[in-house]
């Protein structure tokens, strides 16, 4: 038996089914760290922001309307967008809290 035949015979015997799944597992790990984990972190930050809003905070709705929170209920928020103009918005409709400079 030549050295090449010996090498290829050993390599053929050492094939493990796990090595066939290794690229798929590696791909899932890459997707987790590049897509899934950052999305989970963003969802956590958004949930914290929505739970910490208070009366008097200046906010922007998802529709782009700037206003100030006048009243907070369980799932709704009343936002004052102009003098004597209050709009009832779903809490999840708040995009972000803004500072007074914006």
pLDDT in tens, the chain (102 residues): 565 555 555 554 456 777 778 889 999 999 999 999 999 999 999 999 999 999 999 999 999 999 999 999 989 999 999 999 999 999 999 999 998 765
Question: What six digits make up the tokens of 44?
Answer: 């956590």
Distance in angstroms (rounded) separating the CA atoms of residues 80 and 70: 6
Distance in angstroms (rounded) separating the CA atoms of residues 89 and 94: 8
Distance in angstroms (rounded) separating the CA atoms of residues 12 and 51: 59
Distance in angstroms (rounded) separating the CA atoms of residues 68 and 50: 14
| Alpha carbon of residue 56 to chain centroid | 27
């Amino acid at each position: 038996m030549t050295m090449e035949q010996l090498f290829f015979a050993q390599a053929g015997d050492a094939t493990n089914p796990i090595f066939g799944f290794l690229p798929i597992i590696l791909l899932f790990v890459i997707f987790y760290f590049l897509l899934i984990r950052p999305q989970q972190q963003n969802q956590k930050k958004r949930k914290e922001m929505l739970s910490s809003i208070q009366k008097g905070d200046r906010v922007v709705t998802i529709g782009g309307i700037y206003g100030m929170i006048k009243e907070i209920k369980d799932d709704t928020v009343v936002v004052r967008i102009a003098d004597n103009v209050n709009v009832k918005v779903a809490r999840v409709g708040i995009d972000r809290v803004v500072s007074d400079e914006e």
